[in-house]
């Protein structure tokens, strides 16, 4: 493996924001420690595993060489390398891909929504004085807030039914599921906005108390 003397944390620092957040969101070091413990790897093997895994994440080494690199650089047997690679894929690579997919799916949904209004995403961002990186940061922040407030913004089928009934929303035949999903997202966003405002107010209140105590 090349770049043995590199500081792998520096590689991660130079990654795109959304990939860095995806890595941090899965608690990368903790996941590696669990894999090391479960597979009874030695200290030097654990270091090589971290190096090889990080090189794949940052794109320096291709995924198809991962098992062979674990064999040749970490000193694992063929069977052991395959088992470790499977564990890493399930708990690290797959979760990172899923995190990135959620961000990209959200961007695609926004792009489609803007298109229905006869505009393009690039033009809409320019009008708002935002860049694509700004949008990604906003989406990442929203995802983090959603995780924090997950138990408070869940939407039930009964809430969707009541919303349709209260607002007398017509539902064309064959579009029941699509419209239900749209309404569920709308209710969820309403709940999210309410809970975020409550969270901000609570944090401000605590900050005032803290300043008073410090004073």
In whole numbers, what is the pLDDT of the chain averaged over residues?
Answer: 82
pLDDT level of residue 138 (50, 70, 90 thresholds): confident
pLDDT level of residue 44 (50, 70, 90 thresholds): very high
pTM across the whole model: 0.55
| 115: DSSP letter | H
Least confidently predicted of 40-49, 92-101, 115-124, 137-146? 137-146
Burial annotation 101-140 (CB, 10 A radius, 16+ → b, else e): ebbeebbeebeeebeeeeeebeebbeeeeeeeeebbeebb
**pLDDT above 60: residue 215:** no
């Amino acid at each position: 493996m090349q770049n043995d003397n590199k500081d792998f944390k520096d590689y991660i620092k130079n990654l795109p924001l959304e990939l860095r957040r995806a890595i941090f969101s899965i608690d990368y070091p903790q996941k590696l420690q669990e894999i090391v413990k479960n597979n009874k790897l030695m200290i030097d093997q654990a270091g090589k595993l971290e190096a090889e895994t990080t090189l794949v994440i940052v794109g320096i080494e291709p995924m198809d060489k991962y098992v062979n690199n674990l064999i040749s650089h970490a000193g694992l047997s063929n069977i052991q390398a395959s088992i470790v690679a499977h564990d890493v894929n399930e708990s690290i690579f797959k979760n990172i891909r899923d995190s990135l997919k959620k961000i990209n799916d959200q961007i695609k949904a926004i792009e489609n929504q803007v298109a229905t209004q006869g505009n393009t995403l690039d033009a809409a961002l320019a009008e708002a004085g935002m860049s694509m990186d700004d949008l990604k940061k906003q989406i990442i922040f929203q995802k983090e807030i959603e995780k924090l407030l997950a138990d408070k913004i869940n939407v039930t089928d009964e809430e969707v039914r009541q919303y349709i009934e209260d607002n007398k929303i017509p539902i064309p035949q064959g579009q029941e599921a699509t419209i239900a999903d749209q309404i569920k997202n709308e209710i969820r966003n309403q709940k999210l906005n309410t809970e975020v405002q409550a969270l901000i107010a609570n944090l401000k209140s605590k900050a005032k108390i803290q300043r008073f105590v410090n004073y």
